[in-house]
C-alpha cells in the first residue's frame, strides 16, 4: 500500500535499511508541518495535546484543507499513534508497521515496546522528544546515507531493552541534538526539563572549544562525560548504547576511522561496560571492536572455533546430560547449559599468554543456575565428584565478589576425553545481575542501592571523583581511568579484615592510596602477612597488608615507576606538583631579590601593590603565581626586575657588585645582580645536571629550563656550549656557605681481579659516610676490572676523603672522578 509523506517522515528504519523513494528532506518538512498544525489542537499519545507546557514545535500556520477535515482518531491512525489511554495495558495495534517493505525501525516499534513497562503519559513525552529530534536533525544523514534520526531511535531501543526510565529515553533520542545541531542546552531544558537537558549535555562532546589535537579534544570530552556520569549514571548508559549502535553500523566508515573507533571501544567503552557489570553490552562491544580492528584475525579465529565446536558437540552434550542427571539424582533443581567462550576473550588470552588456539584450555564453558546460595556450594561438591578439578582453577566470587558486583563460583575441570572445561555456578538473581549489572536497577525493580552492582558502581564513581580532582589535565585523567579498567584483580585484606580490590600488579603503595590519600602520602614501609616488605612489593590475593606511616614522610617521584592504579598515580602527581609549586614560589622570590639588588632594591621596597599590578598585567591572579612562574623558569627574573624597578638606574658597583664574578650588557644597560646561592634543599625546582653532576666546591652555572626551574652545570661541562647563543638562559649561581644536602657524583675505580675486591671497596666507601646508589662493572683485560660507582657526597672535600681511602686498598690501581668535559678530574694513579 502507498504511504503518505507524513507516514514516511515518522518512521525510523534500522541501520541497514534502504532510504525511502520519497525524497527525505521534502518528506520530513511536509510531515512535520502537518504534524505541528494538527497536534496543536488534537490528541497525542495518552491524550496529551501539543499545546501543553512541553510542546516542542511551534504553530506553522493554518493546516491544509484536506487534512483539517479529518477527525482526531483518523489523524492519530495516520500518524501511527493512539489518541488516548482509555483502556489499560499496551495497545500494539496502534503502532504496527505501515507497509511490507524493507525492515525498518519505526518510532511505532519503539513505542510498542515502551508501553509494556511505562505509563502511556510517559510514552507520550518520549514521542514528543522524537518529534523535536526529527525536526532538529532534518536534512542530516549518516555516513551510510540514511536519515540521521534512525540512529537516536536505535539507541533508545537498546536502552528500552534495559527498561530505561522515560527521561533517560528522551535524552537518548535527543543525545546528538546539542552536538550536531544549533539547538542549545537551555532550549532543551525549557521544553523537556533540566534532567533531560543535563543528560543530553553529559553525552555531548566539547565542540565549542578548539583543541590543539584530536587526542586532547577526545580526552576533554571523555572527562566531561565521566564527571556527568558521577552525577547521573544514565549518562554512561546512553553513551554505551550510542557506541554500540555506532559499532553495529561501522562498515560505512573508512578503514582507518573504523580501526580508530574500534580501538577506542576496546580500550575504553567495553571495559567501562565490564566495570559496571553490563555483560550484554560488553560482549557485543568486544566482538564488534575485535572484528573491525583485526578483521583477518577475527575471521580466522571465528572459523577455527566453529570447526572445533562442530567436532566437540557430542562432548558438550554429554557433559550437560551428566550434570543434569547427577543433580537430579541428589534432588537439586537447576538449569544447565553449555556454551563456547566469548571470541574476544579467547583472543585476549592467546595474545597475553602467547599461545596458539590448540594450546588454549577451557574453550568450552557450562553454567548451572540454581535457586539459593547454599545450593551453589552443594552443586560444587557434586561437580567435583563428577569430574576431576584442576588445582588452582577454583574461584569463589560469591564470598568475595568482583569489583563490579559480579558473583559466581568458577571451577576448572578435566572433562570427558581429557578436554578442559569450566563450570560457573550461580543463583538466578546472580545470573541476572551478571548479565545486566547496574542496568538491573531499571530492569528488576527489587534491586536497591545496596545491591552488588549498585554499591560497586557507587564506590567506583567516588574513586573517579578523587582521580579527577588530582589529575592535572584531561589526557592524564583519561590515562588514569584506562589503568583502573584492568580486567584482572587481586583481593587483599587490611588488618581489620576489610577487603580491597586492586588491579593485577598493584603494589603496597597502590594499597596505601586505596585506603586514603593521606595514608599513601605518608607511607614509609609495610608488613605483608606480618613480615616487613618494601613499598614496591606486588600484592597477591589473600594477603593481609599493614601500612606503616611517618608524619614527616612524603611521596617519592620514583613511585610513579611502579604504581598501577589511577588513584595512586593521580595523588602522587598532584602532591609533587603542589610541592613543586610551593618550592617554585620560594625560589622565584630569591631570584627576584637577587635581580633587584642590581637596582639597589628589595622586594619589600618595591611593595606588594606594584608586584601585584605587574602580575595582573602578565595575566596572573596573584604575586605567588608570578613568583612560581619565575621559579619554574617560565619568566625571566631580570626582565621582571627591570619593570619593577621603573626609572631606577642599575648600581654600577658597591656591595652588590662585590658578589659578582661577571656582569652582562643588556639593552644598553649594564646589569649587576647578586648571585643566587644554591643550598641543595630547593627541592624540585633546582636540578643538578646528570651530564656533569656538580657538587659543592665545583665552579657552577645555572640555566633556565621552562617548566622545571634551574638546571645547575659545572662550568667545564661540554653541554654548556649548546647555550652560548642563548645568554638570556644563563643565571649566575654559587654554592651556599653550608649546603644542607647530599649530591650524587660518579667515580671510576680500576681494580685487579681478586676475590672480595668489590666488597672491600664498598666497605671503604661506607666507612667514609657515603652511600652507593649504583655500580657497574666491566672487565678491561684478563687482569683488571673497571668499576663505576654512583655515590652520595656532601662536597669536594668529602669526595677527596673517599678517594684517598680507596687509594689505600692494594687491589686498586687507579681512581678518577668522571666528567663529560673531555678529560678526567681528580684522578689518582698508583706506580
Residues with catalytic annotation?
179-180
Contact 495, 527 (CB under 8 A): no
327-to-333, 387, 420, 472, 726 alpha-carbon distances in Å: 7, 13, 21, 56, 83
796: which 3 cell numbers?
A: 669536594
d(CA 734, CA 304): 71
* CA 13 remoteness from chain centre: 36
d(CA 114, CA 491): 41
Contact 487, 271 (CB under 8 A): yes
Choose among 462, 478, 471: nearest CA to 403.
462
Element holding 515 (H helix, E strand): helix 508-515
Over the range 377-396, which residues count as b (16 or more CB within 10 Å of their CB) and which as e?
Answer: ebbbebbeebbebbeeeebe
SS3 content of the chain, % helix, strand, coil (to 5): 50, 15, 35
Burial of 29 (0-12, 13-18, 19+ CB in 10 A): middle
Helix (H, G, I), strand (E, B) or coil at 395: strand
d(CA 201, CA 235): 9
Count other C-beta atoms under 10 Å from residue 314's C-beta: 10
According to the 3-state scheme, what is the secondary structure of 613-680?
A: HHHHHCCCCCHHHHHHHHHCCCCCHHHHHHHHHCCCCCCCCCCCHHHCCCCEEECCEEECCCCEEECC
The full DSSP string for 540-606 is -TT-BEEEEE-TT----GGGGGT--SHHHHHHHHHHHHHHHHHHHHHHHHHHHHHHHGGGT--HHHH
810: which 3 cell numbers?
A: 692494594
Choose among 80, 73, 169, 155: nearest CA to 119.
169
Residues 6 or more apart whose Cβ sits within 8 Å of residue 754: 811
367: which 3 cell numbers?
A: 553454567
Q: What is the gyration radius of the CA atoms in the chain, in angstroms?
A: 36
Cell numbers 620514583 label which residue? 558
d(CA 318, CA 569): 50
Contact 157, 197 (CB under 8 A): no
d(CA 667, CA 651): 16
d(CA 329, CA 334): 12
Contact 268, 482 (CB under 8 A): yes
Contact 686, 587 (CB under 8 A): yes
d(CA 34, CA 638): 73
d(CA 652, CA 620): 32
316-to-334, 390, 427, 709 alpha-carbon distances in Å: 17, 18, 22, 67
DSSP symbol at 100 = S
d(CA 164, CA 441): 9
Q: Which conformational region is residue 145 in: left (phi greater than 0), alpha (psi within -120 to 50 degrees), or beta?
A: left
Amino acid at each position: 500500500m502507498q504511504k503518505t509523506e507524513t507516514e514516511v517522515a515518522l518512521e525510523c528504519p534500522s541501520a541497514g535499511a534502504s532510504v525511502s523513494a520519497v525524497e527525505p528532506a521534502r518528506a520530513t518538512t511536509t510531515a512535520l508541518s502537518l504534524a505541528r498544525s494538527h497536534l496543536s489542537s488534537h490528541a497525542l499519545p495518552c491524550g496529551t495535546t501539543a499545546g501543553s507546557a512541553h510542546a516542542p514545535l511551534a504553530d506553522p500556520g493554518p493546516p491544509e484543507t484536506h487534512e483539517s477535515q479529518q477527525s482526531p482518531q483518523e489523524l492519530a491512525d495516520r500518524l501511527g499513534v493512539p489518541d488516548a489511554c482509555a483502556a489499560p495495558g499496551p495497545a500494539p495495534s496502534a503502532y504496527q508497521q505501515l507497509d511490507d517493505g524493507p525492515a525498518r525501525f519505526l518510532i511505532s516499534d519503539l513505542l510498542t515496546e515502551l508501553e509494556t513497562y511505562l505509563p502511556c503519559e510517559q510514552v507520550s513525552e518520549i514521542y514528543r522528544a522524537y518529534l523535536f529530534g526529527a525536526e532538529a536533525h532534518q536534512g542530516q544523514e549518516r555516513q551510510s546515507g540514511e536519515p540521521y534520526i534512525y540512529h537516536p531511535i536505535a539507541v533508545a531501543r537498546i536502552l528500552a531493552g534495559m527498561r530505561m526510565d522515560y527521561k533517560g529515553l528522551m535524552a537518548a533520542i535527543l543525545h546528538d541534538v546539542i552536538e550536531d545541531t544549533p539547538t542549545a542546552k537551555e532550549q532543551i531544558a525549557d521544553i523537556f526539563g533540566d534532567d533531560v537537558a543535563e543528560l543530553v549535555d553529559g553525552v555531548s562532546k566539547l565542540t565549542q572549544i578548539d583543541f590543539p589535537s584530536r587526542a586532547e579534544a577526545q580526552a576533554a570530552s571523555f572527562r566531561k562525560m565521566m564527571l556527568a556520569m558521577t552525577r547521573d549514571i544514565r549518562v554512561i548508559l546512553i553513551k554505551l548504547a550510542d557506541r554500540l549502535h555506532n559499532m553495529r553500523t561501522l562498515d560505512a566508515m573508512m578503514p582507518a576511522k573504523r580501526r580508530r573507533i574500534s580501538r577506542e571501544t576496546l580500550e575504553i567503552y567495553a571495559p567501562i561496560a565490564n566495570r559496571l557489570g553490563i555483560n550484554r553490552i560488553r560482549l557485543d562491544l568486544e566482538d564488534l571492536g575485535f572484528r573491525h580492528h583485526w578483521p583477518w584475525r577475527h575471521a580466522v579465529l571465528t572459523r577455527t572455533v566453529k570447526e572445533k565446536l562442530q567436532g566437540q558437540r557430542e562432548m558438550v552434550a554429554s557433559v550437560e546430560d551428566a550434570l543434569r542427571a547427577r543433580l537430579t539424582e541428589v534432588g537439586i533443581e537447576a538449569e544447565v547449559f553449555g556454551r563456547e567462550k566469548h571470541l574476544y576473550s579467547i583472543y585476549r588470552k592467546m595474545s597475553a599468554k602467547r599461545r596458539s588456539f590448540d594450546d588454549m584450555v577451557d574453550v568450552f564453558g557450562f553454567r548451572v543456575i540454581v535457586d539459593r546460595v547454599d545450593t551453589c556450594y552443594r552443586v560444587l561438591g557434586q561437580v567435583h565428584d563428577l569430574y576431576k578439578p584442576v588445582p588452582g582453577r577454583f574461584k569463589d566470587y560469591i564470598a568475595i565478589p568482583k569489583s563490579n558486583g559480579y558473583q559466581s563460583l568458577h571451577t576448572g575441570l578435566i572433562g570427558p576425553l581429557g578436554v578442559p572445561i569450566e563450570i560457573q555456578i550461580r543463583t538466578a538473581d546472580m545470573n541476572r545481575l551478571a548479565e545486566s549489572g547496574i542496568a538491573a536497577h531499571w530492569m528488576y525493580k527489587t534491586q536497591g542501592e545496596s545491591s552488588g552492582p549498585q554499591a560497586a558502581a557507587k564506590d567506583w564513581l567516588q574513586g573517579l571523583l578523587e582521580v579527577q580532582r588530582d589529575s592535572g589535565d584531561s589526557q592524564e585523567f583519561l590515562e588514569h581511568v584506562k589503568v583502573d579498567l584492568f580486567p584482572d584483580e587481586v583481593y587483599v585484606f587490611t588488618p581489620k579484615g576489610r577487603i580491597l580490590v586492586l588491579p593485577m600488579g598493584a603494589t603496597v603503595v597502590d594499597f596505601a592510596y586505596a585506603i586514603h590519600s593521606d595514608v599513601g602520602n605518608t607511607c614509609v614501609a609495610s608488613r605483608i602477612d606480618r613480615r616487613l616488605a618494601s613499598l614496591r612489593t606486588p600484592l597477591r590475593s589473600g594477603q593481609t597488608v599493614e601500612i606503616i606511616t611517618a608524619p614527616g614522610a612524603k611521596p617519592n617521584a620514583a613511585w610513579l615507576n611502579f604504581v598501577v592504579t589511577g588513584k595512586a598515580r593521580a595523588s602522587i602527581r598532584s602532591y609533587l606538583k603542589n610541592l613543586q609549586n610551593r618550592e617554585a614560589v620560594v625560589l622565584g622570590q630569591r631570584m627576584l631579590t637577587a635581580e633587584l639588588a642590581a637596582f639597589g632594591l628589595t622586594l619589600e621596597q618595591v611593595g606588594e601593590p606594584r608586584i601585584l599590578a605587574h602580575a595582573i598585567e602578565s595575566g596572573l591572579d596573584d604575586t605567588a603565581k608570578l613568583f612560581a612562574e619565575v621559579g619554574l623558569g617560565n619568566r625571566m627574573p631580570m626582565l621582571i626586575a627591570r619593570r619593577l624597578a621603573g626609572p631606577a638606574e642599575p648600581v654600577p658597583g658597591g656591595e652588590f657588585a662585590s658578589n659578582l664574578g661577571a656582569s652582562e650588557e643588556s639593552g644598553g644597560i649594564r646589569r649587576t645582580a647578586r648571585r643566587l646561592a644554591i643550598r641543595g634543599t630547593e627541592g624540585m625546582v633546582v636540578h643538578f645536571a646528570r651530564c656533569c653532576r656538580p657538587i659543592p666546591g665545583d665552579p657552577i652555572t645555572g640555566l633556565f629550563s621552562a617548566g622545571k626551574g634551574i638546571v645547575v652545570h659545572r662550568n667545564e661541562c661540554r653541554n654548556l656550549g649548546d647555550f652560548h647563543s642563548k645568554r638570556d638562559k644563563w643565571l649566575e649561581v654559587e654554592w651556599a656557605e653550608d649546603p644542607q644536602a647530599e649530591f650524587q657524583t660518579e667515580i671510576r675505580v680500576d681494580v685487579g681481579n681478586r676475590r672480595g675486591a668489590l666488597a672491600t671497596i664498598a666497605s671503604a666507601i661506607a666507612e667514609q659516610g657515603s652511600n652507593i646508589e649504583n655500580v657497574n662493572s666491566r672487565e678491561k683485560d684478563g687482569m683488571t676490572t673497571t668499576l663505576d660507582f654512583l655515590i652520595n657526597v656532601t662536597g669536594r672535600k668529602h669526595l677527596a676523603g673517599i678517594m684517598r681511602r680507596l687509594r689505600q686498598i692494594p687491589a686498586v690501581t687507579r681512581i678518577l672522578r668522571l666528567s663529560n668535559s673531555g678529560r678526567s678530574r681528580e684522578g689518582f694513579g698508583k706506580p
